[in-house]
A and B are shown apart, each in its own frame.
Chain A
Amino acid sequence: MATLELQGIRKSFGTTHVLHGIDLAVAEGEMIVIVGASGCGKSTLLRIVAGLETATEGRVIIAGADVTRLEPKDRDIAMVFQNYALYPHMSVFDNMAYGLKIRGLPKAEIRARVQQTADLLGIGQLLERKPRQLSGGQRQRVAMGRAIVREPKLFLFDEPLSNLDAKLRVQMRAEIKRLQRRLGVTSLFVTHDQVEAMTLGDRLVVMHEGRAEQVATPMEIWRAPANTYVAGFIGAPAMNFLAAELVEGGAAAKLKAGATIAFADGVHPGGEGAPLIVGIRPEHIQAGSGPGSLPLKVDLVEPLGAESLIHGALPSGETLTVRMSDCSPLAGSVLPVVLPPASLHVFDAEGRRIEAVRRRERTAAAGAVGA
Chain B
Amino acid sequence: MRKRVIFNDKGLPYLLLAPQLAITFVFFFWPAGQAIWFSFLRQDAFGIRTTFVGLENFVELFQDPLYLASAWNTVVFSFWVTLVSMAVALGLAVLADRHIRGAGVYKTLLIWPYAIAPAVAAVLWIFIFHPQVGLLGRFLREIGIAWDYKLNGGQAMLVVIVASAWNQIPYNFLFFLAGLQSIPKSVLEAAAIDGASAQRRFWTVIFPLLSPTTFFLLVVNIVFAFFGTFGVIDALTKGGPAKATETLIYKAYIDGRVNLDLGSSSAQSVVLMLTVILLTAIQFRYIERKVHY
Contacts and interface: CB of A to CB of B under 8 A. Distances in A.
Q: Do A and B form a real pair?
A: yes
Interface of A: 50-52, 71-73, 75, 77-79, 81-83, 85-89, 98-99, 102-103, 130, 132, 146, 150
A146 B194 contact: yes
Interface on chain B toward A: helix, strand, loop, or mixed SS? helix
Given A85-B184, A88-B293, A89-B208, A99 B189 contact: no
B187 A85 contact: yes
Contacts of B20: none
A98 B191 contact: yes
B2 interface: no
B196 A102 contact: yes
A72 B201 CA distance: 13
Contact of B190 (A85, A103, A130): A85
Interface of B: 184, 186-187, 189-197, 200, 204-205, 208-209, 211, 292-293
Contacts of B209: 88-89
Contact of A130 (B193, B204, B293): B293
Contacts, number: 65
Contact of A99 (B187, B195, B292): B195
Contact of A83 (B186, B194, B197): B186
Given A88-B209, A132-B293, A50 B184 contact: no
A78 B189 CA distance: 11
Contacts of B189: 50, 52, 72, 79, 81, 85
Given A52-B189, A89-B208, A98 B293 contact: no
Contact of A73 (B184, B187, B195, B208): B195
17 contacts: A51-B193, A52-B189, A71-B192, A73-B192, A73-B193, A81-B189, A85-B187, A87-B187, A87-B191, A88-B293, A89-B208, A98-B191, A98-B194, A102-B200, A103-B195, A132-B293, A146-B194
B185 to A, nearest CB: 9
| A-B residue pairs, 8 tightest by C-beta | A99-B194, A85-B186, A89-B293, A85-B190, A73-B195, A102-B195, A72-B192, A89-B208
Contacts of B186: 81-83, 85
Contacts of A146: 190, 194
Nearest to B200: A102
Contacts of A98: 191, 194, 196, 204
Nearest to A130: B293
A281 to B, nearest CB: 37
Nearest to A88: B293
Given A75-B193, A85-B186, 17 more contacts: A50-B193, A52-B189, A71-B192, A72-B192, A73-B192, A73-B193, A73-B195, A78-B193, A78-B194, A79-B193, A85-B190, A98-B196, A98-B204, A102-B194, A103-B195, A130-B293, A150-B194
Contacts of B191: 87, 98
Contacts of B190: 79, 81, 85-87, 146
A40 to B, nearest CB: 20
Contacts of B292: 89
Given A79-B190, A81-B190, A89-B209, A73 B196 contact: yes
A352 B28 CA distance: 80
A52 B194 CA distance: 12
A75 B195 CA distance: 9
B195 A87 contact: no
A73 B199 CA distance: 13
B293 A73 contact: no
Contacts of A88: 187, 209, 293
Contacts of B187: 85-88
A79 B187 CA distance: 11
